Amino acid sequence: MEPDLRIVSYNLREHLAIGELTALVEAHSMDVLCLQECDSTDIPDEILGLKLAASTKTNRLGLALYYRESRFELLGTSLFALMKSMHDRVMAPAHERLLAARLRDLHTGEEIVVADFHAAPLTASNGLRRKQIGLAHEKLKELADGVPTVMVGDFNYPWFRKGLRKHLQKTGYELSITDEPTYARSGFSGRFDFATTMGMQIAGVLSLPQGKSDHRPILLLATVAEKV
């Protein structure tokens, strides 16, 4: 079965790559666009048919989620604050690390929940990030109430993902990693950006060409399952 859902996630690196969004949407025709490290005071309400569903307001650099208005009806959005790392307490870069939207397909009537996620930075422990991911999934399960769910974003989890995958499978979520590294800076590279899903069949997660950000955008190709 051909994938019928295209989701792009992009960490803009402190809003540096904001000028690339129009070309990105034009090149990859996504249904949903999730951004991290964007300045909500300097983002468009619409990008080539993608409408802004919501963005974080209390963060200096936060999250934003766009959806294709010709395909989906927006049923609602939710913002969640997750447990803070020491970096968060000292630098105060982020308060809300999870932004979710419930969407209804205008053609099929199917509903899905799409979430934009940004985990604590590498200065925090994998244990804390794993707790953030678990808490995010709990919030999404409550919000989704059984409909297919996908969470994409910057997980800041380049190592020990086998353990994370096994842990997530116990809770019903699948982990999907990119084909190539998504982060490169100062001679270091790794897969930081990926997706977790429930009730979806994943055809692939592609690393798109790098722009001004130290993260590459990723493109998730998926098919919504009949039922979670």
Condensed to tens digits (0 to 9), the pLDDT of residues 141-188 reads 999 999 999 999 999 988 778 888 998 998 999 999 998 999 988 777
Mean pLDDT confidence for 189-199? 94
Could you tell me if residue 43 is left (phi over 0), alpha (psi between -120 and 50 degrees) or otherwise beta? beta
pLDDT at 89: 43
Which residue carries 């963005």 as its tokens?
55
Q: Is the pLDDT of residue 68 over 90?
A: yes
> What pLDDT score was predicted for residue 90?
41
pLDDT for the residue numbered 87: 45
For the residues 15-28, what does the mean pLDDT come to? Answer: 98
Question: What span, in angstroms and rounded, lies between the C-alpha atoms of 145 and 138?
Answer: 11
pTM of the entire predicted model: 0.92
Q: What are phi and psi of 88, to 5 degrees?
A: -65, -40
**pLDDT of amino acid 83:** 63
Burial zone of 146 (CB within 10 Å; 0-12 exposed, 13-18 middle, 19+ buried): exposed
Sign of the dihedral through C-alpha 79, 206, 176, 3 = positive
Closest residue by Cα to residue 77 from 60, 59, 98, 93: 98
CA 203 to chain centre: 17
Whole-number pLDDT of residue 17: 98
**Which is it for strands 183-185 and 188-190: parallel, antiparallel or unpaired?**
antiparallel
64 contacts 54 by C-beta, under 8 angstroms: yes
pLDDT above 70 as % of the chain: 92
How many Å apart are CA 157 and CA 161, to the nearest integer? 7
Cα–Cα dist 222/161, whole Å: 21
Give the residue among 179, 161, 173 at the shortest CA–CA distance from 200.
173
Please tell me the predicted confidence (pLDDT) of residue 3: 84
Q: How confident is the model at residue 86 (pLDDT cuts 50, 70, 90)?
A: very low
Tokens of 65: 């989620």
Please count the other Cβ atoms lying within 10 Å of the Cβ belonging to residue 142.
Answer: 9
> Is pLDDT at 228 greater than 80 in this prediction?
no
Query: Does 216 have pLDDT greater than 70?
Result: yes
